[in-house]
Amino acid sequence: MRLKGKVALITGGAAGIGKATAKLFVEQGATICICDINDTAGLETAKELGCEFSRVDVSDRKAVQIWVDTVASQFGKIDILINNAGILRDALFVKVKDGDLVKQMTEEAFDSVVSVNLKGVFNCTQAVAPHMIRHGSGSIVNASSVVGLDGNFGQTNYVATKAGVVGMTKVWARELGRLNIRVNAVAPGSIVTEMLESMPENILSEWKKHQPLGRFGQPEEVAYAYLFLASDEASYISGAVLRVDGAMVVGT
């Protein structure tokens, strides 16, 4: 019961890594509240785990503030924030054929990923921080990615957001540390989620060749990293980026 008595918020908690994290946190004694934009999956997860669910678009600052303030009022505190929500809109920065530009990443694809993956982390953290400050402690864990550290083909928007999350994590670790709030990031590699499974089999087969452990990761393996960094066992860890990637080789 490593999180007994803790109140935790998990964004993107309806499925995948978020759901695995919610399940693990409940097993470890936490009171959890998840949010997602997928009502059906969110309600199913909440029913399965016996937790709170709210439909929240993390890019909507007002909706985030209402959710956070409601949870804090209901439970009296917020101990943990897991900024897990994220989306993909992959495309080549520019696509050229016979020397001519034929396609490029759209502005909408860039802006939508930034609004969720980067601004969403900013929104949730800034909404939660005052409650943690008043309580005198807190742990925030942000979802980055190995591609945010190493770059990757066809992911200008996604890589930019995940690199930005690392930067914000380090800033907040410095700014909030004196207030007894720790801020860390997890950088997953290829994890078996709905997002990964939606990719064509030939691409997955080729991608697996770049996994030194010979397999993709499981959501639970990322959830355990979230658990460690969120728990008191990591009480002197802040500003860190923990790779959970099986030594994945990116972009080759």
Q: Is 224 one of the annotated active-site residues of the chain?
A: no
| DSSP state string for the chain | -TTTT-EEEEET-SSHHHHHHHHHHHHTT-EEEEEES-HHHHHHHHHHHT-EEEE--TT-HHHHHHHHHHHHHHHS---EEEE-------B-SEEEETTEEEEE--HHHHHHHIIIIIHHHHHHHHHHHHHHHHHT-EEEEEE--HHHHH--TTBHHHHHHHHHHHHHHHHHHHHHHTTTEEEEEEEE-SB-SHHHHTS-HHHHHHHHTT-TTSS-B-HHHHHHHHHHHHSGGGTT--S-EEEESTT-----
Q: Which positions are annotated as active-site residues?
A: 158
